[in-house]
Amino acid sequence: MKLSREFQNGFLIFLGIAIYFLIMNLVGLSDVFYLRLFNTIFVLYGVNRTLLMNINDGNILLANNAVSGMKTSLYGVFMSIIGLIIYSYMQGGDDYVQSLSKTFLFGGSPTVMLYSICLLFEGIASTVVVTMLLLLYWNNRLVTD
């Protein structure tokens, strides 16, 4: 069974984010919320890779590439959230999540699920932004007058 390029590149996004998070955790920087911005690099890489594969196959239609790019990044985001939920419960559940980012979207005592849902919305928002930026980038290079 051949996996779709969207799933393969989404899995690469997940691997990149997971390895980056584990390294941050080992170094003791997992509570520094602004370092999560670098997760965008992995999303950019995966979506760009999918779009380049589509372009190399002759698929330059903006709508098809938009769907393909969104699917890629959503696969990566969903796998990352599932991985975070599993990892959080392995590390102590709600107590572990509270030790992460104190300044993240809410005050008080977030649960694993609340934290994960907030990260899901953040991931979906970055998915839309990254996909649209890359679509515009490649569309400007492919359109000929």
pLDDT band at 145 (very low <50, low <70, confident <90, very high): very low
- The 8 Å CB, 24+ separation contacts for 57-66 are 60/142, 62/135, 62/139, 65/135, 65/138, 66/131, 66/132, 66/135
Neighbours of 7 (CB within 10 A): 16
CA pair distance 131, 51, nearest whole angstrom: 9
User: 128 is written with which tokens?
Assistant: 């839309």
Write out pLDDT tens, residues 26-65. 998 877 777 778 888 999 999 999 999 999 998 888 899 9
Query: pTM of this prediction?
Result: 0.88
